[in-house]
Amino acid sequence: MKKWQETRNYKRIKDQNGIIINIITVDGVDVEVNDEVFLAYSQADRRERYIIEEVEAGKLLSKVPSGIHPVQSSPGKLLRDDLIHL
């Protein structure tokens, strides 16, 4: 196990037959989940860590939910109203 994996409560392991098993630990119990659930869980975890890192750094974060595209004043630049500072 790599150092960064020690702080996660999810992992992928190979069983004795070489089949990959996705495991999420919930309240100390390992729960086997399918690929779709594992992917959604790991992506949500990464998004949470990203937000925490950005807030600690004092950066601007978008308040627009994913899947909704804000109006842009010019390509690549959001309007000031679409940004918040946490």
**pLDDT tens, residue by residue, 38-82:** 999 999 888 888 888 877 776 666 655 555 554 444 555 544 444
Predicted local distance difference test score (pLDDT) of residue 4: 60
Report the domain count for the chain.
Answer: 1
Predicted local distance difference test score (pLDDT) of residue 49: 85
Q: Which two tokens stand for residue 70?
A: 């804000």
Q: Which two tokens stand for residue 26?
A: 């919930």
Q: What is the DSSP letter of 65?
A: P
Structural domain for 78, as ranges = 3-85
* Rounded Cα distance, 39 and 58, in Å: 29
CA dihedral sign, ordered 72, 78, 80, 84: positive
Predicted confidence (pLDDT) at residue 9 exceeds the cutoff of 60: yes
* Rounded Cα distance, 25 and 32, in Å: 9
